[in-house]
Amino acid sequence: MSLHPKKFFIATILSLTVLTITCNYAFAREIDIGLVISNEKIKIGSNKNAVLINTRTNNIITKIKNQETYTVSNSSGLIHISHGISNTSLGSFTGPIKLIPDNDKDLVFCKDKWYRGKLIILTNGSKNQITIVNQLKLEDYLLSVVPSEIPSSWEKEVLKAQSVAARSYALGYLGRRKKKGYDLESTVEDQVYLGVSSEKRSTSNAVNQTKNLILVTDENKPLIALFHSSAGGFTDSIESIWEKESSPHIIPVPDYDDNSPHFKWFRTYTLQEITKFLINENIGNVTDIIPVSRSSSQRVMWVEVLGDKGKIKMRGDDFRRTIKLPSSKFNMLIRKEKVVFAGRGFGHGLGLSQWGAKALAEKGFSYMEILAHYYPGARLAKLNE
């Protein structure tokens, strides 16, 4: 899709006047990211001196020396800690347990990855699984998230737009996984977070240059700024794709993702392969697939799958995830035992399109203009320090 002239943004950019809003509940001084839920022994430690503290009693369990490792596991609902080399037991604790470096610039490790901030070890009520959480400053979290979600070699205005979107997403969904004992997952279920190994200078600069900037709704609440790889020509509205209330800021807008490797795609499956994907639906062998309805951007909203033992009606986005299609924007044809899908885009198609944003940046649009396009009517706010 060809780009509109820059004057297209004159009206929308006015809504991105920078506001200053007061931080409630220490707006993201720190954020808790789930790293591991496991019934195995997990190695933890720090690159410099640190302490292990039982937060229930506030007592120091042990002081950790430079590069020293310990293992933690769940022993009948208690957190068992032992030395990583000697295997000497330090005891079992109700917890939660915190690993805190002596210097807040030092690093901690969990399994084979290094992280900023602290580690929290808890059972979360489980009798056999241990949960390990990385607690760190929001801005430090973004240093890893942004390059994990978008190529660090892309134009700086794209990286800045992604930084604001990722920061807004994190605050908008803060506490989303509280039942698991943390705020957000470290995977694509929320935002990909890989620790310090993923940090890049270009994305760190983008995070720093947009420090404390978020998108907010009309109620001054952080916007859940959804983003995806490529929309295939047009983004979509949130209520068309998911069981969510409509948002005036997540609506269909033109995308400019023609250069995306996923702008057009094709997939071919046998009916037997699709049957295996849907084995848990208990409909037997799949015999037909019928797109029931489409959004204004031509994504499949609902699909009916017929089997020789029953049928199911699924959200189009659930269907594409289940059978591993790039997006729910597709047409299809069944020939004999094969199903041919022809589609566009990659991801759910909501909010910012990364490939579209890249094209806009290449044409000279600023990160504010990019955000104004993909989140119409949203306002840019600066959090108080």
DSSP of 108-145: EEETTEEEESEEEEE-TT-SS-EEEEEEEEHHHHHHHH
pLDDT value of position 371 = 96
Q: Does the pLDDT of residue 40 top 70, yes or no?
A: yes
pLDDT in tens, 343-371: 999 999 999 999 999 999 999 999 999 99
Closest by CA to 374, choosing from 158, 154, 147, is 158
- Whether pLDDT at 14 is above 70: no
- pLDDT for the residue 29: 76
Q: What is the mean pLDDT of the chain?
A: 92
pTM, two decimal places: 0.91
Q: What is the pLDDT of residue 18?
A: 53
pLDDT at position 16: 53
Q: Where are the alpha helices (DSSP H) in the chain?
A: 10-13, 138-149, 156-172, 201-209, 238-241, 271-277, 316-322, 354-362, 367-374
C-alpha separations of 366 from 155, 212, 255, 268, 370 in Å: 10, 18, 16, 40, 6
**Which pLDDT score is estimated for 84?**
87
- Residue 1's pLDDT is what? 58
Look at residue 19 in the predicted model and tell me its pLDDT.
Answer: 56
Query: Mean per-residue pLDDT for 81-92?
Result: 92
pLDDT at 7: 42
**51 with 71: CB under 8 angstroms?**
no
**pLDDT higher than threshold 60 for residue 311:** yes
pLDDT of residue 21: 54
> Rounded mean pLDDT of 72-86?
94
Q: What is the pLDDT of residues 248-285, one digit of tens each?
A: 999 999 999 999 999 999 999 999 999 999 999 999 99
- Give the pLDDT of residue 210: 97
Of 207, 103, 105, 119, the residue nearest 159 (C-alpha):
207
Give the residue-averaged pLDDT of 118-135.
96
Which has more confidence, 5 or 105? 105
Q: Residues of the chain with pLDDT > 90: what percent? A: 87
Q: In this predicted structure, what is the pLDDT of residue 3?
A: 53
pLDDT tier, 374 (very low <50, low <70, confident <90, very high otherwise): very high
Reported as a single tens digit per residue, the pLDDT across 200-249 is 999 999 999 999 999 999 898 999 999 999 999 999 999 999 989 999 99
Q: Is 266 helix (H, G, I), strand (E, B) or coil?
A: strand
Q: pLDDT value at position 6?
A: 44
